[in-house]
Amino acid sequence: MNLLVTGGCGFIGSNYIHYIFSTFNDITVINVDKLTYAGNLLNLQSIEKEYGGKRYFFEHEDIADAEAMRTIFEKYNIDAVVNFAAESHVDRSIDDPTPFITTNVMGTQVLLSAARDAKVERFVHISTDEVYGDLSLDDPAFTEQTPLHPSSPYSASKASADMLAYAFYRTYGYNVSITRCSNNYGPYQFPEKLIPLMFSLASSDKPLPVYGTGMNIRDWIHVSDHCKGVHLTLMKGEAGKAYNFGGNAERTNIDVVRTILRDLGKPEDLITFVKDRPGHDRRYAMNYSLAQKELGYEPEYTFERGIKETLDWYRNNTDWLNDVQSGAYLEFMKKWYGDK
């Protein structure tokens, strides 16, 4: 199979490409990535070295560029697309929604159109639990029937992309499925997201900014469980359907931060509560029984095992962490959190 993976240099996309090469020997991957601040070729250095030019091809392109996408579909005989490419950080979307609309909405439409024109047989679009909005403490978890009710410019752009995917199925009968998953964690996550951010700040004894009272609840899924879920969807998912994926691990943000501090042997007084994120969702929780029933999905990681392995990975990969924490990263962190 010739598989086009977009956003393959980001956190989940690169983990997915590693998963493909460690599991299958009959899949060729074409990775299309614009290399925004979140895209990092270092994430795939070992893949490039071993499979580059044979079963792995990198194309530095923008999914919102229709001509470039048409050329790529012509150049490679693509059988399927998995679309991870996105602007993915809520805080950045609050700061400036524009690139979120360009990539997440227009980019998804361009890619869907180009894939359909090229008669690509299968398309999986990667979405998020955030499209459902939020839950109160005693609401039941989100199912695929929960109405879309996004809160941030990021989640609104992802919900729009989901609607386009549904429309391509309903209007053209296109073979597209959607995956929606909870908060991912694991290796290669850009250190603006909670776990690597808190790890790196605590490691250098800097204050840890926690929004509001830290009582917001997220469900955490290890990225390797998510990657398996994505692949199951690609192989077995039904056209026109969305599948939820969760990790069975609801935790408050403050719990996660305390776990990191304990692991590092750092004091809790590093925690600094900061003004809450505008429109901050209270709680996300995923009912993933459809994926269990139809795809045979089951998360393998407990949060305790996953967080331990993840923190060990960051501890053992400080070069990677230092490399991404420069330039544009520093500018945004300063603008958003101030000069602490």
Q: Which of residues 261-320 bind ligand NAD (CB under 6 A)?
A: none
Q: Does 177 bind ligand NAD (CB under 6 A)?
A: no
* Residue from 109, 175, 184, 233 binding ligand NAD (CB under 6 A): 184
Task: Name the one residue in this structure whose structure tokens are 């024109």.
Answer: 117
Task: Assign 3-state DSSP to the chain and report helix, strand, coil percentages, each to 5.
Answer: 45, 15, 35
Task: State whether the Cα torsion 194-198-199-201 is positive or negative.
Answer: positive
The residues facing 183 across adjacent strands are 220
The CA-CA-CA angle for residues 99, 101, 106, to 5°, reads 110
Residues 153-172: x/- map of binding to ligand NAD (CB under 6 A)? Answer: -----x--------------
What is d(CA 60, CA 25) in angstroms, rounded to the nearest whole number? Answer: 24
What is d(CA 187, CA 210) in angstroms, rounded to the nearest whole number? Answer: 22
Residues 42-71: x/- map of binding to ligand NAD (CB under 6 A)? Answer: --------------------xxx-------
* Residue from 39, 133, 186, 196 binding ligand NAD (CB under 6 A): 39
Residues 68-87: x/- map of binding to ligand NAD (CB under 6 A)? Answer: ----------------xxxx
What is d(CA 186, CA 196) in angstroms, rounded to the nearest whole number? Answer: 9
Q: Does 6 bind ligand NAD (CB under 6 A)?
A: yes
CB of 35 to ligand NAD, least distance (A): 5
Q: Does 17 bind ligand NAD (CB under 6 A)?
A: no
151 token code pair: 């809160």
Number of residues that bind ligand NAD (CB under 6 A): 31
CB of 197 to ligand NAD, least distance (A): 13
Q: Does 12 bind ligand NAD (CB under 6 A)?
A: yes
**Contact (CB, 8 A) for 128 and 181:** yes
329 token code pair: 């990263």
Q: Phi and psi (nearest 5°) for 324?
A: -80, -20
Q: Does 225 bind ligand NAD (CB under 6 A)?
A: no
**Which residue's Cβ lies closest to ligand NAD?**
10
* Residue from 44, 69, 126, 201 binding ligand NAD (CB under 6 A): 126
CB of 178 to ligand NAD, least distance (A): 11
Q: Does 233 bind ligand NAD (CB under 6 A)?
A: no
Question: What are the catalytic residues?
Answer: 129-130, 154
Q: Does 142 bind ligand NAD (CB under 6 A)?
A: no
Q: Does 7 bind ligand NAD (CB under 6 A)?
A: yes
Q: Phi and psi (nearest 5°) for 185?
A: -145, 160
* Residue from 108, 151, 183, 244 binding ligand NAD (CB under 6 A): 183
3-state secondary structure of 243: strand
39 token code pair: 């895209």
- The 10 Å CB-count burial string (b at 16+, else e) for 82-102 is bbbbbbbbbbbbbeebebbbe
CB of 268 to ligand NAD, least distance (A): 25
Measured CA to CA in angstroms, residue 29 lies from 1, 8, 47, 62 at distances of 8, 10, 10, 17
CB of 269 to ligand NAD, least distance (A): 28
DSSP 26: S
Q: Does 191 bind ligand NAD (CB under 6 A)?
A: no
Contact residues for ligand NAD, defined by CB under 6 A: 6-7, 9-13, 32-36, 38-39, 62-64, 84-88, 103, 107, 126, 128, 158, 181, 183-184, 190
